[in-house]
Structure 1
């Protein structure tokens, strides 16, 4: 048995461990939905939001679609610049949002999830 493994061999194991340890709310799909809801609540385009966070625009699109995880540094910028706490961004704790924006972000989050479900259903039908 080989004691050493290369990165390609350990990648599936890392995903398995992450899935077992992390809450489902921390999955990139769920974090991306919340990031999109934050952006919509702030009435910003993807480009404006990405630029304000010093993030590549294509990376922002990948984060919002759930195909890329949100780096903690970017999450901290969202928290610092806009007042949305890391517990909301990464865990979905609605009480960690600015009180005056809480109902709007909840409504936008629901709209994001409904649109995603509709898009997924349409993709499955084709």
Structure 2
């Protein structure tokens, strides 16, 4: 892909784009950072960086999140709400919004 084309296509998988989704999933589940990081086998400091958007989310960790909690990779990396269980969408959207306004 050319530089021009890649600059015109929004990268929804950037760490700053993935951060509010991971935060929203964790908060929606009512889990502390310690509980969530243990469940998905990542250290707590790495989770903090992921949720702040200063570190990327490893695909293996994203796959564990998807498998354990039912949120698809298309939501985690691309923001596709069709990959979120219907009953969870309103709260997830609200949590994502609150995450963006607090940073």
TM, length-normalised to structure 1: 0.73
The structure with more helix, counted as a fraction of residues: 1
| Larger Rg, first or second structure (1 or 2) | 1
RMSD across aligned positions (CA): 1.4
Distance 1:40 1:29 in 2: 17
Distance 2:64 2:91 in 1: 21
- Could you tell me which runs of 5 or more consecutive residues in structure 2 were left unpaired when the two chains were aligned: none
Matched, 1:95 2:78: no
The number of residues matched between the two structures is 98
TM, length-normalised to structure 2: 0.89
Q: Which residue of 1 aligns with 2:13?
A: 26
Residues 49-106 of structure 1 show CA distances to partners (whole Å, capped at 9, x for unaligned) of: 1011011111101111111100000000010000000000000011110112111111
Distance 2:44 2:70 in 1: 21
- Could you tell me which runs of 5 or more consecutive residues in structure 1 were left unpaired when the two chains were aligned: 1-16, 117-126
Of the two structures, which has the highest relative contact order with CA contacts closer than 8 Å and spacing of 6 or more? 2
